[in-house]
Structure 1
Amino acid sequence: MSDNILTDAVAATAFRRLVAHLQHRTDVQNIDLMGSAGFCRNCLADWIAEADGALTKDQAREIIHGMPFGEWKARYQGEATAQQVAKMQESVAKNADNH
């Protein structure tokens, strides 16, 4: 399917819904997102900062997390297990095919 079928307005609406969903699902750890999908909230924020050019990574992460990242991390992020790290590394390795 061609990208030009997806309008900017539709993409923006879907993106905002994704951000709201990720802010709501604080029970889902970033490392688990990385292990399953090869990206997480921080990746999404980094992509925003890169696309904008004027936002810092910290500013973009606050947009995605709905609060400063340090606060989000203290509230919701647990310690990663060795199994989570291994799954993340395997998943992220697959990203090389897409860049």
Structure 2
Amino acid sequence: MTDIDPKTRTELEAAAFRALVDHLRARTDVQNIDLMNLAGFCRNCLSKWYAAAAKEKGLDVGYDQAREIVYGMPYEEWKAKHQTEATAEQKALHAQIHQH
């Protein structure tokens, strides 16, 4: 494996994150519950991780602001435009997978 300097590594990781966010913005048909059931994370998780990373850097980026960055619009607007009611099957799978 090629050695990558830390600055370049950060730039590549940032580019990959932006590509993932762009992909999720384009795939509004993919619901968060589907992401959670298949991958164990969703757009809201990305938002929480973004806000936590900002906090580690001493920046005041709250969860709502981070969600707007990830969703590309205010969360309530995204929900109204794109979120559908989870099916009984989706809910059952989520409950089975995410037993706490």
Query: What's the TM-score once normalised by structure 1's chain length?
Result: 0.83
Question: Does residue 75 of structure 2 align to residue 73 of structure 1?
Answer: no
**1:36 CA displacement:** 0.4
Which ranges of structure 1 fall in alignment gaps of 5 or more residues? none
Cα distance change, pair 79–51 in 1 and its aligned pair in 2 (3 A): same
Question: Does residue 93 of structure 2 align to residue 87 of structure 1?
Answer: yes
Higher normalized contact order (CA 8 Å, seq sep 6+, divided by chain length): 1
Q: Percent identity at matched positions?
A: 54
Larger Rg: 2
Question: Aligned-pair RMSD on alpha carbons?
Answer: 2.1
Picking from 22, 32, 35, the partner of 1:33 is: 35
**1:82 CA displacement:** 1.9
Q: How many residues align?
A: 92
Which ranges of structure 2 fall in alignment gaps of 5 or more residues? none
Larger helix proportion, structure 1 or 2?
Answer: 1
- In 2, the alpha carbon distance for the partners of 1:18 and 1:91 equals 24
